[in-house]
Amino acid sequence: MCRTFSNRSWRGWSAQAIADRLNEGDVLSPLEYKRWIGSNYVSTFKRNAKARWTAVSVLRVLKNPVYIGTLEQGKQTTPNYKVKKRFAVPKDKWVCIPDNHEAIISRDTFENVARILLSDTRTAPSADTVFPLSGLLFCGDCGRSMVRKNNASSSKPYYYYICSGYKNKAGCQSSHSIRAAYLEQAVLVAVQEHIRSILDIEHTLKTIDNLPYTSRQTQKADERLKAKHREIEKYQAYKLRLHEDYADGILSREDYVAFGARYSKKIEEAEQAASKLVQDIEQLAAGYSGGQQWIAYFKQHANISELNRKLAVELIEKILVFENQKIQIEFKFQYEYEQAFEFISSLTSTPEQLLSKGVC
């Protein structure tokens, strides 16, 4: 009674299109499956003699954390045993048990889906699939979403995006118009370049782990850390002496407050620098390239040749569109990428020095 479908055939489909496909394939809905296995199950969602898949039921499955191993209980309750009617319990009162059972999908996939559901992913009236960049495009000036339009009146119709704020006369003074084909090609090229850059970073990190000068860098970082600790102690001593001078009447209150704020700022800056040095030392000691899951996340798409919905959602957080068809892409794991790049740069003064040491 159940059929299977290729994962590729579902990419970019809307919830309603998925529901229709499941019904066409005679795939049992959750309610019908429970009935089929003999479960005594009653649901208020049943509307027909045979419960069918709907967009709502598809979305309910997509939002259910049970598939990533999380058990949620206590969603409903009754005032007492005499009252049969059940009432919803606020979500912060639910009992949630992570890793309660084996997950059947990854947390990354589940979180990607949750993010998509919060964005605008409408389809065209005659289409089943969601456009590759739906829900990811935003105006670079006002921050509102970009909407897809069709230049149907032209002899050569094409799709393009404009700022929804401009379209609705909600404040943005420019349409930020950009053709869909140009945008998608530009995003594809940017993704390919980003992945190549990440592969270069991975190679560099692995090489750094095997270089003899890495231990010397650890020693230098440790010396800088000790210097920062001495700096912190110095300014703390200054603050203590400052308090004593104020108590003895040597300093006015105005000077006491001004100098105190200055020393506090110096201490804060030194503590932040010390914290960063501790991270650097740990990375050098452990080998920075070890356990870089975010690199593996991008590596699986190293040979991409076309932009599709799955790829866009997995790799991109958002895309900002500016005037004159300029775009700015915020990739997933952007912080980790920048940290790795900063770490590599901190080992030498210039890229040429990296090259001379055989790092790049």
Structural domain includes residue 341 = no
The first and second tokens of residue 241, run together, are 């002496």
Q: Is a pLDDT exceeding 90 seen at residue 121?
A: no
In a domain, 128, yes or no: no
pLDDT at 122: 55
**How many domains does the chain contain in total?**
1
Q: Determine the average pLDDT of the residues in 135-147.
A: 90
Joined together, the tokens standing for residue 256 give: 């006491």
Residue 207 has a pLDDT of: 73
- Percent of the chain's residues with pLDDT above 70: 77
Least confident range from 128-137, 236-245, 327-336: namely 128-137
**Tell me, what's the pLDDT at 286?**
55
Any domain includes 328: no
- Give the list of residues 6+ apart from residue 174 with CB closer than 8 angstroms, or none: 141, 163, 166, 323
List phi, psi (to 5°) of 173.
-95, -5
Please tell me the number of Cα atoms within 13 Å of 55 on its side-chain side: 8
Residue 154 lies in a domain: no
Average pLDDT over the chain reads 78
pLDDT score for 158: 84
Cβ–Cβ under 8 Å, residues 107 and 64? no
pLDDT above 50 for 57: yes
What pLDDT, on the 0 to 100 scale, is given for residue 170? 81
What mean pLDDT do residues 125-136 have? 70
pLDDT at 349 exceeding the cut of 50: no
Least confident range from 143-157, 172-186, 202-216, 261-275: namely 202-216
Supply the pLDDT for residue 8.
46
Average pLDDT over residues 40-64: 70
The predicted pLDDT at position 189 comes to 94
Residue 307 lies in a domain: no
Whether the per-residue pLDDT at 278 is higher than 70: the answer is: yes
- The pLDDT tens digits for 217-251 are 677 778 888 999 999 999 899 888 888 888 888 88
Tell me the whole-structure pTM to 2 decimals. 0.54
Domain annotation covers residue 40 = yes
- Residues written for the chain: 360
Report residue 62's pLDDT band, with 50, 70 and 90 as the boundaries: confident
Q: In this predicted structure, what is the pLDDT of residue 186?
A: 94
* Residue 22 burial (10 A CB sphere; 0-12, 13-18, 19+): buried
Higher pLDDT, 80 or 307: 307
**What percent of the chain shows pLDDT beyond 90?**
15
Shortest CA distance to 340 belongs to which of 204, 220, 211?
204
User: Encoding tokens for residue 355?
Assistant: 């090259």
What is residue 122's three-state secondary structure? Answer: coil
What's at 220, amino acid-wise? Answer: K
Residues 329, 343, 203, 338, Cα dihedral to 10°: -10
Q: Can you give the pLDDT at residue 291?
A: 46
Is 245 within a domain?
no
Q: Cα dist. 158→7, 151, 153, 324 in Å? A: 29, 5, 10, 18
Band of pLDDT at residue 356, cut at 50, 70 and 90: low
Residue 287 in this model has a pLDDT that exceeds 80: no
152-180 pLDDT, tens digit per residue, is: 776 777 889 999 999 888 878 889 999 99
Answer yes or no: is pLDDT of 53 > 90.
no
d(CA 17, CA 5) in angstroms, rounded, equals: 14
**Contact (CB, 8 A) for 322 and 162:** no
HSE-CB at 224 with a 13 A cutoff on CA atoms is 18
Whether residue 52 lies inside any domain: the answer is yes
Containing structural domain, residue 27: 7-117
Is a pLDDT exceeding 70 seen at residue 279? yes
Distance CA 246, CA 240 (A): 10
Q: How many CB atoms lie within 10 A of CB 114?
A: 12
pLDDT at 1 (0 to 100): 43
d(CA 118, CA 301): 25
Using 50, 70 and 90 to split pLDDT, how confident is the model at 47?
low
